[in-house]
Chains A and B, each alone.
Chain A
Amino acid sequence: MAKLLIVSDRSLLGQVSAQVLRESFEEVVEAHHDSALEVFLAEEPTHVFIFEYEERGKKGEKSCQGIQTWNDLKNSAEVGQTMVRCGFSRCDQPDYIQMPFRIEELRERLGIKK
Protein backbone atom coordinates (compact mmCIF):
# COMPACT_ATOMS: atom_id res chain seq x y z
CA MET A 1 0.00 0.00 0.00
CA ALA A 2 1.41 3.40 -1.01
CA LYS A 3 1.45 5.66 2.03
CA LEU A 4 2.89 9.18 2.07
CA LEU A 5 4.21 11.03 5.11
CA ILE A 6 4.49 14.80 4.70
CA VAL A 7 6.70 16.59 7.25
CA SER A 8 6.35 20.35 7.65
CA ASP A 9 5.99 22.88 10.44
CA ARG A 10 3.95 25.09 8.13
CA SER A 11 0.54 23.49 8.14
CA LEU A 12 -0.54 25.22 4.92
CA LEU A 13 2.34 23.65 2.97
CA GLY A 14 1.53 20.26 4.38
CA GLN A 15 -2.16 20.56 3.67
CA VAL A 16 -1.73 21.78 0.08
CA SER A 17 0.78 19.02 -0.70
CA ALA A 18 -1.45 16.43 0.87
CA GLN A 19 -4.38 17.65 -1.23
CA VAL A 20 -2.40 17.55 -4.47
CA LEU A 21 -0.79 14.16 -3.81
CA ARG A 22 -3.76 12.43 -2.23
CA GLU A 23 -4.90 10.87 -5.49
CA SER A 24 -1.50 9.17 -5.93
CA PHE A 25 -1.47 7.52 -2.51
CA GLU A 26 -3.87 5.30 -0.65
CA GLU A 27 -3.07 7.14 2.55
CA VAL A 28 -1.47 10.50 3.37
CA VAL A 29 -0.35 11.44 6.88
CA GLU A 30 1.18 14.70 8.09
CA ALA A 31 3.62 15.46 10.90
CA HIS A 32 5.59 18.36 12.31
CA HIS A 33 9.37 18.01 12.53
CA ASP A 34 9.22 17.40 16.29
CA SER A 35 7.04 14.34 15.92
CA ALA A 36 8.26 13.19 12.48
CA LEU A 37 10.41 10.30 13.70
CA GLU A 38 7.68 8.93 15.94
CA VAL A 39 5.09 9.13 13.16
CA PHE A 40 7.57 7.65 10.66
CA LEU A 41 8.22 4.64 12.90
CA ALA A 42 4.56 4.11 13.70
CA GLU A 43 3.07 4.63 10.24
CA GLU A 44 5.81 2.95 8.15
CA PRO A 45 5.18 5.12 5.06
CA THR A 46 6.38 4.03 1.63
CA HIS A 47 7.16 7.65 0.69
CA VAL A 48 8.25 10.67 2.74
CA PHE A 49 8.30 14.33 1.72
CA ILE A 50 10.23 16.64 4.04
CA PHE A 51 9.87 20.42 3.87
CA GLU A 52 12.11 23.07 5.45
CA TYR A 53 15.34 21.41 4.40
CA GLU A 54 17.77 24.33 4.39
CA GLU A 55 21.50 24.53 4.73
CA ARG A 56 21.05 27.12 7.44
CA GLY A 57 18.21 28.14 9.69
CA LYS A 58 16.54 31.55 9.67
CA LYS A 59 18.98 32.90 12.24
CA GLY A 60 22.01 31.52 10.42
CA GLU A 61 22.46 28.52 12.70
CA LYS A 62 24.38 25.71 11.10
CA SER A 63 21.61 23.18 10.95
CA CYS A 64 17.87 23.66 10.84
CA GLN A 65 15.21 21.17 11.77
CA GLY A 66 14.63 19.86 8.24
CA ILE A 67 18.19 18.56 8.05
CA GLN A 68 17.92 16.87 11.43
CA THR A 69 14.58 15.31 10.49
CA TRP A 70 15.99 14.06 7.19
CA ASN A 71 19.03 12.56 8.95
CA ASP A 72 16.92 10.84 11.61
CA LEU A 73 14.43 9.40 9.12
CA LYS A 74 17.06 8.46 6.53
CA ASN A 75 19.08 6.63 9.18
CA SER A 76 16.01 4.73 10.35
CA ALA A 77 14.59 4.04 6.88
CA GLU A 78 14.41 0.55 5.50
CA VAL A 79 14.99 -0.58 1.93
CA GLY A 80 12.15 0.57 -0.33
CA GLN A 81 11.17 3.70 1.56
CA THR A 82 11.48 6.69 -0.79
CA MET A 83 12.38 10.07 0.71
CA VAL A 84 12.36 13.50 -0.88
CA ARG A 85 13.59 16.66 0.86
CA CYS A 86 12.63 20.17 -0.09
CA GLY A 87 13.81 23.69 0.63
CA PHE A 88 14.57 27.09 -0.86
CA SER A 89 18.34 26.54 -0.93
CA ARG A 90 20.23 24.94 -3.77
CA CYS A 91 21.21 21.33 -3.19
CA ASP A 92 22.23 19.14 -6.12
CA GLN A 93 20.98 15.80 -4.90
CA PRO A 94 18.57 13.46 -6.70
CA ASP A 95 16.32 13.27 -3.64
CA TYR A 96 16.10 17.06 -3.25
CA ILE A 97 13.67 19.48 -4.84
CA GLN A 98 14.08 23.23 -4.71
CA MET A 99 11.15 25.55 -4.09
CA PRO A 100 9.26 26.69 -6.04
CA PHE A 101 8.72 23.51 -8.03
CA ARG A 102 6.16 22.07 -10.40
CA ILE A 103 4.02 19.24 -9.11
CA GLU A 104 5.23 17.06 -12.00
CA GLU A 105 8.80 17.48 -10.72
CA LEU A 106 7.75 16.38 -7.27
CA ARG A 107 5.92 13.35 -8.63
CA GLU A 108 9.04 12.45 -10.58
CA ARG A 109 11.22 12.74 -7.46
CA LEU A 110 8.79 10.60 -5.50
CA GLY A 111 8.73 8.07 -8.33
CA ILE A 112 4.98 8.18 -8.83
CA LYS A 113 3.22 8.40 -12.19
CA LYS A 114 -0.04 10.22 -11.56
Chain B
Amino acid sequence: MKKIILLVEDLPEELEKAKSVITVAGFKAVVAGNLEDALRLWEKLGSKISGVITDLHFPDKEDFTEQTGQSPNGLVVITEALLKNTPVSVCSNIDHHFAAYLKNVVGNLEKLTGRNIPFTMDRKNWQLALDELVKIIP
Protein backbone atom coordinates (compact mmCIF):
# COMPACT_ATOMS: atom_id res chain seq x y z
CA MET B 1 0.00 0.00 0.00
CA LYS B 2 1.20 3.50 -0.84
CA LYS B 3 2.25 5.76 2.02
CA ILE B 4 -0.43 8.22 3.12
CA ILE B 5 0.17 11.94 3.49
CA LEU B 6 -2.31 14.18 5.29
CA LEU B 7 -2.68 17.43 3.39
CA VAL B 8 -4.23 20.44 5.13
CA GLU B 9 -5.18 23.37 2.89
CA ASP B 10 -8.39 25.35 2.59
CA LEU B 11 -8.09 26.87 -0.89
CA PRO B 12 -9.52 24.44 -3.48
CA GLU B 13 -7.19 25.45 -6.31
CA GLU B 14 -4.10 25.10 -4.08
CA LEU B 15 -5.44 21.85 -2.71
CA GLU B 16 -5.72 20.36 -6.20
CA LYS B 17 -2.16 21.43 -7.04
CA ALA B 18 -0.83 19.92 -3.83
CA LYS B 19 -2.79 16.70 -4.26
CA SER B 20 -1.44 16.31 -7.78
CA VAL B 21 2.17 16.77 -6.58
CA ILE B 22 1.65 14.17 -3.84
CA THR B 23 -0.02 11.53 -6.02
CA VAL B 24 2.45 11.94 -8.89
CA ALA B 25 5.22 11.26 -6.36
CA GLY B 26 3.57 7.93 -5.54
CA PHE B 27 1.82 8.79 -2.27
CA LYS B 28 -1.83 8.79 -1.30
CA ALA B 29 -3.24 12.16 -0.27
CA VAL B 30 -5.86 12.45 2.45
CA VAL B 31 -7.24 15.94 2.40
CA ALA B 32 -8.62 18.29 5.06
CA GLY B 33 -9.76 21.86 4.45
CA ASN B 34 -10.07 22.88 8.09
CA LEU B 35 -8.67 22.02 11.51
CA GLU B 36 -11.66 19.97 12.65
CA ASP B 37 -11.44 17.68 9.60
CA ALA B 38 -7.67 17.39 9.89
CA LEU B 39 -7.87 16.20 13.50
CA ARG B 40 -10.81 13.88 12.72
CA LEU B 41 -9.02 12.23 9.79
CA TRP B 42 -5.84 11.93 11.85
CA GLU B 43 -7.71 10.18 14.64
CA LYS B 44 -9.38 7.87 12.13
CA LEU B 45 -6.21 6.86 10.29
CA GLY B 46 -3.72 7.16 13.18
CA SER B 47 -0.30 5.76 12.46
CA LYS B 48 -1.27 4.99 8.86
CA ILE B 49 -0.43 8.63 8.16
CA SER B 50 3.25 8.72 7.24
CA GLY B 51 3.59 12.48 7.06
CA VAL B 52 1.76 15.79 7.01
CA ILE B 53 1.93 18.82 4.75
CA THR B 54 0.08 21.78 6.17
CA ASP B 55 -0.75 25.34 5.32
CA LEU B 56 -0.57 27.82 8.20
CA HIS B 57 -3.83 29.78 7.94
CA PHE B 58 -7.10 27.91 7.50
CA PRO B 59 -10.51 27.79 9.24
CA ASP B 60 -11.31 25.95 12.45
CA LYS B 61 -14.39 24.35 10.93
CA GLU B 62 -16.12 23.98 7.61
CA ASP B 63 -18.23 27.10 8.15
CA PHE B 64 -15.77 29.65 6.88
CA THR B 65 -15.77 33.19 8.22
CA GLU B 66 -13.20 35.87 7.63
CA GLN B 67 -12.09 35.55 11.23
CA THR B 68 -11.66 31.77 11.41
CA GLY B 69 -10.07 31.73 7.94
CA GLN B 70 -7.24 33.85 9.26
CA SER B 71 -6.53 31.62 12.26
CA PRO B 72 -3.00 30.17 12.32
CA ASN B 73 -4.39 26.66 12.82
CA GLY B 74 -1.34 25.20 11.12
CA LEU B 75 0.41 25.61 14.47
CA VAL B 76 -2.08 23.16 16.02
CA VAL B 77 -1.36 20.67 13.24
CA ILE B 78 2.39 21.08 13.74
CA THR B 79 2.02 20.55 17.49
CA GLU B 80 -0.10 17.44 16.92
CA ALA B 81 2.54 16.11 14.55
CA LEU B 82 5.24 16.66 17.15
CA LEU B 83 3.17 14.91 19.82
CA LYS B 84 2.39 12.00 17.49
CA ASN B 85 5.98 11.83 16.26
CA THR B 86 4.79 12.26 12.67
CA PRO B 87 6.97 14.12 10.13
CA VAL B 88 5.44 17.46 9.17
CA SER B 89 6.26 20.01 6.50
CA VAL B 90 4.80 23.52 6.39
CA CYS B 91 3.84 25.17 3.11
CA SER B 92 2.90 28.82 3.35
CA ASN B 93 2.85 31.92 1.24
CA ILE B 94 5.59 34.48 1.48
CA ASP B 95 3.02 37.21 0.84
CA HIS B 96 1.07 36.41 3.96
CA HIS B 97 1.71 39.07 6.58
CA PHE B 98 1.93 36.54 9.43
CA ALA B 99 4.10 33.97 7.64
CA ALA B 100 7.45 35.42 8.66
CA TYR B 101 6.37 35.71 12.28
CA LEU B 102 5.07 32.14 12.34
CA LYS B 103 8.27 30.88 10.76
CA ASN B 104 10.04 32.15 13.86
CA VAL B 105 7.50 30.37 16.07
CA VAL B 106 8.06 27.12 14.18
CA GLY B 107 11.80 27.69 14.43
CA ASN B 108 11.45 27.89 18.20
CA LEU B 109 9.40 24.69 18.22
CA GLU B 110 12.26 23.03 16.36
CA LYS B 111 14.74 24.22 18.98
CA LEU B 112 12.53 23.09 21.86
CA THR B 113 11.81 19.61 20.45
CA GLY B 114 15.01 18.96 18.53
CA ARG B 115 12.88 17.97 15.55
CA ASN B 116 13.24 19.12 11.97
CA ILE B 117 10.15 20.99 10.73
CA PRO B 118 10.66 22.06 7.10
CA PHE B 119 9.03 25.40 6.37
CA THR B 120 8.47 26.28 2.72
CA MET B 121 7.60 29.92 2.28
CA ASP B 122 7.93 30.22 -1.46
CA ARG B 123 4.48 31.07 -2.86
CA LYS B 124 2.96 27.73 -1.96
CA ASN B 125 5.67 25.55 -3.49
CA TRP B 126 4.07 22.16 -2.81
CA GLN B 127 6.79 20.24 -4.63
CA LEU B 128 9.45 21.72 -2.38
CA ALA B 129 7.31 21.06 0.71
CA LEU B 130 6.91 17.42 -0.33
CA ASP B 131 10.61 17.02 -1.16
CA GLU B 132 11.47 18.32 2.31
CA LEU B 133 8.92 16.02 3.93
CA VAL B 134 10.19 12.95 2.10
CA LYS B 135 13.64 13.59 3.55
CA ILE B 136 12.33 13.15 7.10
CA ILE B 137 9.84 10.28 6.53
CA PRO B 138 11.49 7.10 7.85
Contacts and interface: CB of A to CB of B under 8 A. Distances in A.
B28 to A, nearest CB: 6
A41 B4 contact: yes
A38 B45 contact: yes
The prevalent SS among residues of B at the interface is: mixed
Contacts of A95: none
B30 interface: yes
B29 interface: yes
A75 B30 contact: yes
Nearest to B31: A75
Interface in B1-54: 1, 4, 15, 23, 28-33, 41, 44-45, 48
B41 A72 contact: yes
A108 interface: no
Interface residues of A, number: 9
A37 B1 CA distance: 14
Contacts of B45: 37-38, 41
Nearest to B33: A75
Interface residues of B, number: 14
A42 interface: yes
B1 A42 contact: yes
Contacts of A41: 1, 4, 28, 30, 45, 48
A38 B30 contact: no
Interface in B58-106: none
A47 B39 CA distance: 27
A38 B44 contact: yes
Given A41-B30, A75-B33, 11 more contacts: A34-B44, A37-B41, A37-B45, A38-B45, A41-B28, A41-B48, A72-B41, A75-B30, A75-B31, A76-B28, A78-B23
Q: Which 9 A-B pairs have the closest CB atoms?
A: A75-B31, A76-B30, A41-B28, A78-B23, A42-B1, A76-B31, A41-B4, A37-B44, A76-B29
17 contacts: A34-B44, A37-B30, A37-B41, A37-B44, A41-B28, A41-B30, A41-B45, A41-B48, A42-B1, A72-B41, A75-B15, A75-B30, A75-B31, A75-B33, A76-B28, A76-B29, A76-B30
